Amino acid sequence: MYSIMQRKYLFMAIYHFSIQPNKNGQFGLNFKGGAEQKLKPIITQIAPNSPASICDPQLQEGDEIVYINGRKAEQLSHEQICCLIRSIGQSATNKTLTLSVRPFGSIENHEIKNSEMKNSPNHGISSQLLTSMAQIKQGLENGDLLAFYVDMPKKKLELSTEIAHFPENKTKNRYRDILPYDFNRVVISGENDYINASHVQTDIGYSGMVNEYLAAQGPLSDTCGDFWQMIWDQEVSLVVMLTTTMENGKTKCHRYWPECGEHFEIGNFEVSPISSRDYSPAYIHRELTVTDLETDEERTIQHLQYTAWPDHGVPEDSRRFLTFVNEVRRYRSASSAPVVIHCSAGVGRTGVFITVETACCLIEAGVAVYPEQMLDTLRDQRPSLIQTPGQFKFTCETILDIYQDHFLKTQSMNGR
């Protein structure tokens, strides 16, 4: 079993190219590597005056091929890559070769860019960040981003979910097709250590920061004790809820917290309300006390519930949603513990929130944002994160809004 720390990711610079073949159906590039060789595919040669030689920005020898028309290149053998590129060039319908590549020496290049930023006319806005925003805008306009989303597998088939299928655990899953991977599932104390929740981490580029989440389904009536056990075990002080308890006449989450005047005894804990403030119609902020009934130890929990987000849909007001995200970030900054985040299944709205908060941090750090790679990285940690094309589109549009706000703030700080 892999530990979550063995599955950390770095959002490196990724560039995207759309290349048309010559009259012979050729693109003019060679590469080495493939899955069977345990080598990432690397461009080794670009023919002069070929379609591949006239890309802007320019392809270089040593660039790593990450995606080929939406397919993850490192999962393909050398021969499969050759056949895929050849079939695209000879296609009777769509001959466009769409390459996503990681530039050779991208980390070193980023460090050089950072040293140059101080003298840049866009002080505080890196060129890679600018480029990534332009690519998101173009990808939304031409449909490439949604096409990528549709082609992206919802679950990594090579990752096991066997423990969630154990007979004693089946009834603990709200939805039978939304299950945590075994390698990074959250393990709780007690006779049965299973809960439908996953450790999820996002790296904030080159800053060394990591956002840690416990992405969970909304508790069932008989898993509320497990939910509070997870909060206690992981020393959580902030819970983010992105659903209401009932939607369209269906139960989406059991109410696992007490309202004013109530006291809950749930499993090994007593949960009591301290305060509740309704920021209608967007979200509610609750402060709760949880007490271990065996030791009498008390802890304070901040509970932020966003209420203006329909299941399988998107927030009704993106600006109001960003206000909520920033409120969560404010409370997160007070603790190094992971944040519990859940909706009903713990994948759709949960995935959008994680991606948007991560994008906020990346943009503030001046690091390029690539939604495709972020989605792939998230689904390596929990299946189906960002559940619908509409949610992915909203995520990309919101990233552009975050960048616009950051750009205006940076210009204002520079006296423009």
The two most distant CA atoms of the chain are separated, in Å, by 77
Q: What is the DSSP string of 116-157?
A: HHTTSTTTT--HHHHHHHHHHHHHHHHSHHHHHHHHS-SS-T
Question: Taking the CB of residue 248, how many other CB atoms lie within 10 A of it?
Answer: 7
**Neighbour-count burial for 91-114, b at 16+ CB within 10 Å, e otherwise:** eeeeeebbbbbbbeebeeebeebe
Instruction: Please state whether beta strands 210-216 and 339-342 pair in parallel, antiparallel, or not at all (unpaired).
Output: parallel
Is 343 an annotated catalytic residue?
Answer: yes
Alpha carbon 307 to its chain centroid, in Å, reads 21
Sole residue written with tokens 């989605």: 375
Interior/surface letters 358-368, b for 16+ CB within 10 angstroms, e for the rest: bbbbbbbbbbb
How is 6-27 classified by DSSP, letter by letter? GG-------EEEEE---TTS--
Q: What angle do CA 329, 381, 182 make, to 5 degrees?
A: 130
Q: Per this entry, what is the length of the chain?
A: 416
Which of helix, strand or coil describes residue 203?
A: strand
DSSP state of 249: T
For 104, how many CA atoms within 13 A lie in the half-sphere containing its CB? 10
Per the DSSP assignment, residues forming a β-bridge with 291 are 270, 298
Taking the CA of residue 271 as centre, how many other CA atoms within 13 Å lie in the half-sphere pointing to its CB? Answer: 23
d(CA 323, CA 319): 6
**Residue 335, both tokens:** 């603790």
**Closest of 35, 32, 126 to residue 74, by C-alpha:** 35
Q: Which of 253, 343, 361, 396 is catalytic?
A: 343
Contact by Cβ (8 Å): 398, 363:
no
> Among all chains, which residue has been given the structure tokens 């696992």?
256
CA-closest candidate to residue 201, choices 9, 411, 406: 9
* Residues recognised as catalytic: 343
